[in-house]
Amino acid sequence: MQGAFQPRDAPPEAQGLFRHGAAQREWGASIFWVNAETSFADTEDLIIGWQTRRDLQRRGIVEVVEHDRE
């Protein structure tokens, strides 16, 4: 996420994605997001940590990026 991003700035239909309980309930998904410009950890290290389950199996990760509209 960009440095100034706040979930309240997302379109209304996307705001539930940034509330863990709502995302789990509505989409059956665990959503984690990080602001790369203010995080103390390296983004790749965070992704590896989130991807590894307690049983050391790996879960799927989907990276969502914003594209410029043409």
What residues pair up with 58 in beta bridges, in sequence order? 52
Q: Which two tokens stand for residue 46?
A: 């965070």
pLDDT for the residue numbered 55: 93
Q: pLDDT tens across 13-68, in order?
A: 888 888 888 888 988 887 777 776 766 777 778 888 888 888 999 888 777 766 65
Contacts of 58 (CB under 8 A, 6+ apart): 51, 52
